[in-house]
Amino acid sequence: MRLLTKTTLYFLLAMIPLLVVGGYFLYKQYSTQINERADKELVYEEVQWIQYLEAATANGSNFLLQSPDLLIHPAQEEPTPYPTITNTNGLKARSNEEIPYRQLAHIVDINGVPYQIVIRKSQEQKLALVSNITYIMLLVFGGLFIATLLFNWMISNRLWRPFRASLQKVRNLELQKMEAVRFEETNTKEFNELNGALNTMVQKIQHDYLNMKEFTENAAHEMQTPLAIAQSKLELLLQDSQLNDTQVGSIAQATEALSRLSKLNQSLLLLAKIENNQFVATETINLTNVTQKYLRLFDEIIKDKQLQVHIQAEEDFTARLHPFLADSLVSNLLGNAIKYNEEGGKINIQVSRSSFCISNTSQQPALDAQHLFQRFQTPNKGTTHSTGLGLAIVKRIVDTSQLKITYQYAESMHRFCISQA
């Protein structure tokens, strides 16, 4: 629920008892006024009747008068000094409806005879008053409701504009593009506080991120030099004719391990660079062409493993990519399809306008699609000389190029498909 809807709702809920109380007081006020007026009329009428009675009974005759609203008759009781005025209910004339009456009762002494005078006045308008007030209150409530909705809509549009702008910025925040992000000053104190905090946060994140980035790159670079030293020393050592086969073998293994380390280092550096968006997509690349290039490059090993490569590409799959990333993408996927293939296995490449798929046979069972693209998730660690970064690089390239990649295992083939995201 929107914050504004919530406040409105609370506001309206609070309005209800206020309106009820207001309504009650209004009723009370009107009711008193109506009573007072009725009372005055009653008293005035009584006075008239008394005057009339005094004249009419001066000759000693008895007087009795009865109508729905008036009752005058001689009484046994003692006369009272003041009339009592009460509220009663009674039937409405010519109908069965019960309505409120204001009634005056007085026993007066008329020429020595006590007379009871009862006059009542219909207060039917009181009923109308209640319904009128309820009606007015409902009208007020409804008006308020509509007015608040309208105001809310307007306020929401205007007042919350800076908030929504900030929110949109936070949503679109990308680590690589944080430098340009700035939360503007507004004329609302709360939003200024929020934007201020966001600015500080963004600066801190960006600072940390740049540090990390710099660290990764520097670490990778710095590692290359000692690696170069160790590798060159081993290469020189290999030239020593005094060495026996075992020693030469050990040196070869050490060289191999060093080159793996170097490859790993370069892959990490590449990943960092892709993440840093250091490769800007400059052109639209046809992946079929890139694939053909790598098939030619890998021709030797394909022949050596007696792999059957089948390409089905009636249409071209194109993507906006940096050429280097396109190479990296295809060489990693194709390289894997070759590396993990079995002797005499198959590689199928299917290209359509919407997808680019490479599938291959392998001794490997189905891979865990969940962790496949994470770093260092190498199947059969130790048996292959994989850095465990190839698919992580592929994923990263795909993610930064508005593409997506899926993995399937069907009919004993591992299948990787790239399509537009």
Partner 1 sequence: MIDLSLPFRETGGIFTTMKLLIIEDEPALRESIQTYLEQQGFVCEAVADFKAGLQKVQQYDYDCVVVDINLPYGSGLDIVKELKAIEAKAGIIIISARASLEDKLTGLELGSDDYLTKPFHLSELSARIQAIIRRRNFGGSKTISFQEIRLEPDAQRVSIDSKPVDLTEKEYRLLEYFIANQRRVLTKAAIATHVWGDEYEQVSNYDFIYTHIKNLRKKLIDAGSEDYIKTVHGVGYRFTDH
Contact between 283 and partner 1 by CB under 8 A: the answer reads no
Q: How far is the CB of 397 from partner 1 (least distance, A)?
A: 14
Please, are residues 53 and 113 in contact by the beta-carbon 8 Å criterion? no
Sheet with strand 355-361: strands edge to edge: 308-313, 346-351, 355-361, 413-420, 403-410
Q: How far is the CB of 269 from partner 1 (least distance, A)?
A: 7
* Total length of the chain: 421
| Helical segments of 239-374, H only | 245-275, 287-297, 299-304, 323-339
CA–CA distances in Å: residue 356 to residues 27, 371, 406, 408 = 80, 21, 10, 13
Contact between 345 and partner 1 by CB under 8 A: the answer reads no
Q: Which stretch binds partner 1 (CB under 8 A): 22-30, 134-142, 171-179, 249-257?
A: 249-257
Distance, CA of 311 to CA of 291 (rounded, Å): 10
Helix (H) or strand (E) holding 316: none
Contact between 224 and partner 1 by CB under 8 A: the answer reads yes
Contact between 292 and partner 1 by CB under 8 A: the answer reads no
Calculate the CA 295 to chain-centre distance.
48
Residue 168 buriedness (CB in 10 A; 0-12 / 13-18 / 19+)? exposed
Contact between 396 and partner 1 by CB under 8 A: the answer reads no
Q: CB 3: neighbour CB atoms within 10 A? A: 10
Contact between 149 and partner 1 by CB under 8 A: the answer reads no
Contact between 300 and partner 1 by CB under 8 A: the answer reads yes
What tokens were used for 165? 């702008």
Contact between 259 and partner 1 by CB under 8 A: the answer reads yes
Nearer to partner 1, 65 or 230 (CB): 230
Contact between 231 and partner 1 by CB under 8 A: the answer reads yes
Q: Which stretch binds partner 1 (CB under 8 A): 52-60, 79-87, 229-237, 312-320?
A: 229-237
Contact between 297 and partner 1 by CB under 8 A: the answer reads yes
Of 170, 229, 366, 421, the one binding partner 1 by CB under 8 A: 229
Beta pairing class for 403-410 and 413-420? antiparallel
Nearer to partner 1, 338 or 358 (CB): 338
List contacts with partner 1 (CB under 8 A): 221-222, 224-225, 227-233, 235-236, 238-239, 245, 248-249, 251-252, 255-256, 258-259, 262-263, 266, 269, 273, 278, 294, 297-298, 300-301, 303-304, 324, 331-332, 334-336, 338-339, 384-386, 390
